[in-house]
C-alpha cells in the first residue's frame, strides 16, 4: 500500500508541476524546460508498470492474509512447516504479481499507441491484471463466508445464537473487508460512464473513499485499536517512564 501510494503521489506531483511549468512557459516563451514523467515515455511507462505491480502485489498479500486467517480459524493446510509457508508467501506476494505485470506490460508496449499509455485501464487486455485481482477478491469472500460459517457452527454447538453473537459476526465481517481487499470490488467492475448522474456520483465517491482510506482502516482496526498492540505500547511507555 505504501509503495502504491508513493508512486501515485509522485505522478500527481509531476502532473501538478507540469501544469505550473506549462503556464510559465507560455508566459516566458521558454518551451525547452524539463517535462517530467508524463513527457518522457520511458519514465512514464516505468512509473505505470511499478504502480500496477504494487497494486497487484497488494492484492496478492491480501490473498495471503485470507489464507492465513482461514488456516488459523478453519483448517490447517499450510501451517505444518513455517519455512515452507514463508517461501510460499514470498512467491505468491512478490513473484506472481511480477509475472502478470510483466506479461501485461509487454502486451501494452506493443499494442497501446497513445502517449504515456493514456486510457490503458480501459483496454480489454488490462484483465491480465484485473483478472487475478478479481479472482483474489472472490476467494477472500469465500474465506470470509467460511470463517463466519465456522464461527456460527461452533456457537450453535455450545448454545443458541444470540443477538450479541450476530452483532459480533457482522463486526468481524466489516472489519475484515479492507484487510481482505473485498471492498475493492467496485473499482474492478466497469466504470458506469453511461449510467445516470446519481449512480455515477455514488460509484465515484464510494470507490475513491474505499481506495483512499483502505490503508487507514487496516491500520485503525489492526494496529491502533488492537488490544495486543495497545498493551505492548503501554508496557514500552511504562518502561521508558521507569528509566
150's CB contacts (< 8 A; 6+ apart) are 73, 74
Distance, C-alpha 232 to centroid of its chain: 28
User: Would you state the pLDDT for residue 101?
Assistant: 96
DSSP 195-232: S-HHHHHHHHHHHHHHHHSHHHHHHIIIIIS-HHHHHH
pLDDT, tens only, 67-91: 888 877 776 655 555 667 788 889 9
Quickly count: other Cβ atoms within 10 Å of residue 74's Cβ.
14
Q: Locate cell 508513493: which residue?
A: 6
Question: Are the C-beta atoms of residues 37 and 9 closer than 8 Å to each other?
Answer: no
Distance, C-alpha 4 to centroid of its chain: 8
pLDDT, tens only, 206-231: 887 877 788 888 888 778 888 888 88
pLDDT, tens only, 125-157: 999 999 999 899 888 888 888 888 887 777 666
pLDDT, tens only, 5-49: 889 888 888 888 877 766 556 555 555 555 677 778 888 899 999
- Residue 200's pLDDT band (boundaries 50, 70, 90)? confident
Of 8-17, 97-106, 111-120, 228-237, least confident by mean pLDDT is 228-237
Q: At how many degrees (to 10) do helices 96-111 and 127-158 cross?
A: 150
Amino acid at each position: 500500500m505504501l509503495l502504491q501510494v508513493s508512486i501515485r503521489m509522485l505522478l500527481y506531483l509531476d502532473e501538478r508541476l507540469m501544469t505550473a511549468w506549462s503556464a510559465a512557459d507560455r508566459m516566458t516563451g521558454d518551451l525547452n524546460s524539463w517535462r517530467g514523467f508524463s513527457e518522457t515515455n520511458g519514465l512514464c511507462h516505468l512509473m505505470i508498470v511499478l504502480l500496477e505491480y504494487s497494486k497487484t502485489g497488494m492484492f496478492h498479500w491480501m490473498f495471503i492474509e485470507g489464507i492465513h486467517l482461514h488456516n488459523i480459524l478453519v483448517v490447517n493446510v499450510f501451517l505444518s512447516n513455517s519455512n515452507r509457508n514463508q517461501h510460499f508467501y514470498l512467491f505468491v506476494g512478490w513473484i506472481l504479481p511480477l509475472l502478470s505485470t510483466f506479461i501485461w506490460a509487454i502486451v501494452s508496449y506493443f499494442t497501446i499507441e497513445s502517449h504515456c499509455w493514456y486510457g490503458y485501464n480501459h483496454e480489454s487486455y488490462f484483465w491480465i491484471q484485473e483478472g487475478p485481482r478479481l479472482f483474489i477478491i472472490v476467494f477472500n469472500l469465500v474465506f470470509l463466508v467460511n470463517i463466519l460459517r465456522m464461527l456460527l457452527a461452533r456457537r450453535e454447538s455450545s448454545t443458541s445464537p444470540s443477538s450479541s453473537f450476530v452483532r459480533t459476526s457482522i463486526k468481524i465481517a466489516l472489519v475484515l473487508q479492507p484487510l481482505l481487499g473485498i471492498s475493492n470490488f467496485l473499482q474492478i467492475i466497469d466504470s458506469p460512464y453511461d449510467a445516470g448522474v446519481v449512480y455515477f456520483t455514488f460509484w465515484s465517491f464510494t470507490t475513491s473513499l474505499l481506495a483512499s482510506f483502505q490503508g487507514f482502516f487496516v491500520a485503525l482496526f489492526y494496529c491502533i485499536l488492537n488490544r495486543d498492540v495497545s498493551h505492548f505500547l503501554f508496557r514500552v511507555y511504562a518502561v521508558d517512564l521507569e528509566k
